[in-house]
Amino acid sequence: MSNKKIIGTLKVQINGNGANASKLSQVFGMKGIGGVMKKFCDDFNAMTKGRENEELRVIVTIYEDKTISFVVKNEPVSVSLLKAINADKGSGTPNMVKKGVLSASKVREIAERKLEELNAYDVDSAIKIIKGTARSIGVDVE
């Protein structure tokens, strides 16, 4: 990494290969980095080509000289779970109204994909985290 002084970070969710200036101008402008928005959009879209159906989390690091660097992470667990059951949003009362049921193998697949981003050392711990998120949005796991 560089020795530049970090003055802030910015977290946004963007669809893969879907970054454009009109969607990001307000967010980037508030942080005073509107001048690098075009380059960010071009770099992000090139990096995420082929991932159009994923809602990706992006962490943008802002440096003192108004340059940026960014890291693209996988989509949030809740989004992965909702896609797996073909729902657009979770349950408002997850203890009473269930939105769907997932198999244990699908939960394992999500846990393996998200393992490096979760606070877990192994897949079994990641599965417990995924099951907790599923419970909180009204998804049962078989």
At 37, list the tokens: 């928005």
Q: Given the structure tokens 């943008």, which residue do they identify?
A: 60
pLDDT tens column, 94-128: 989 999 999 999 999 999 999 999 999 999 999 99
- Sketch out the chain's domains with CATH numbers: 6-73 (3.30.1550.10), 77-141 (1.10.10.250)
Percentage, residues of the chain above pLDDT 70: 99
Residue type, 4: K
Give the pLDDT score at 21.
86
Cβ–Cβ under 8 Å, residues 98 and 113: no
d(CA 79, CA 3): 36
**Alpha helix stretches (DSSP H) within 31-121:** 37-47, 77-84, 104-114
Residue type, 59: I
> In degrees, to the nearest 5, what angle opens at C-alpha 73 toward C-alphas 118 and 31?
115
Q: Is the pTM value of this prediction over 0.95?
A: no
Arithmetic mean of pLDDT, 37-44: 92
pLDDT tens column, 63-99: 999 899 999 998 999 999 999 999 999 999 998 999 9
Of 13, 17, 6, nearest to 42 by C-alpha is 17
**pLDDT of 133 over the 60 cut:** yes
